[in-house]
Homo-oligomer: A and B are copies of this chain.
Amino acid sequence: MRQLRGTPLKRFLRKLPPPPSPKELVIVCQSVAYPVNVGSVFRIGDALDVKEIVLSGITPTPPNPKISKIARDKDRRVPWRYFDRPEAALRELREAGYWIAALEITDDCRPYFAVDYPDKVALVLGNEDHGVTRASLALCDAALFVPMYGKGRSLNVHVSLAVVGYHMLHQVS
């Protein structure tokens, strides 16, 4: 086996088939506090080819050197909007036909791999310390969680996003 680099790598990536289960995906950063996490969300959002990233509340927004560095400048490619109040964004997404799911452990949550995802999905990411607020949860259709099989209680928010996002695109039913 030989690594692909340079032009062969570019050619390989250009010829990738679309995902088996394409989605219109929107990511909502309800109040993600750290610029490194927001940057990672942009880098992963680009990789998942999301339609849009919604930033709200205390989430830092581009232009921000830390976000750009971690995002590898994908904050200049992926469309994003800022909403002062996440609830306004969630209401608008619902009216546009999105199924809205929080990444959160609630009394009613389901493991992310036990869900049949519709074509239009909005994933809501909460604050690193406080998670998704009660007001935002009230506007969600479901809460999803990534099981923790060790001793830790959670994964970093961008890591959970990648696990759930890729699962959704590659789900075959």
Which residues does A use to contact B, with CB under 8 Å? 1-4, 8-10, 12-13, 16, 18-20, 40, 43-49, 72, 74, 77-78, 102, 104-109, 113, 131-132, 134, 137-138, 140, 143, 146-153, 155-156, 158-159, 162-163, 166-167, 169-170
Instruction: Select A78's contact among B2, B45, B150, beta carbons within 8 Å.
Output: B150
Contacts A40-B159, A162-B155, A163-B162 given: A104-B150 contact, CB under 8 Å?
Answer: no
Residues of B within 8 A of A4 (CB): 105-107
13 contacts between A and B (CB under 8 A): A1-B102, A1-B106, A1-B108, A1-B109, A1-B137, A2-B108, A3-B134, A43-B155, A48-B149, A48-B150, A77-B150, A162-B162, A162-B163
Q: Which residues of B contact A74 (CB under 8 A)?
A: 150-152
Tallying the copies of this chain within the complex gives 2
Return the chain B residue nearest A169 by Cβ. B149
Q: Chain B residue with minimal CB distance to A166?
A: B163
Q: Pick the contact of A3 from B40, B44, B113, B132 — CB < 8 Å? A: B132
Contacts A132-B3, A138-B1, A169-B149 given: A44-B159 contact, CB under 8 Å?
yes
CB distance from A138 to the nearest CB of B (A): 7
Residue of B nearest to A138 (CB): B1
Complex Cα distance, B25 from A68, in Å, reads: 34
CA distance A165 to B163 in the complex (A): 9
Report the Cα distance A129→B72, complex, angstroms.
Answer: 14
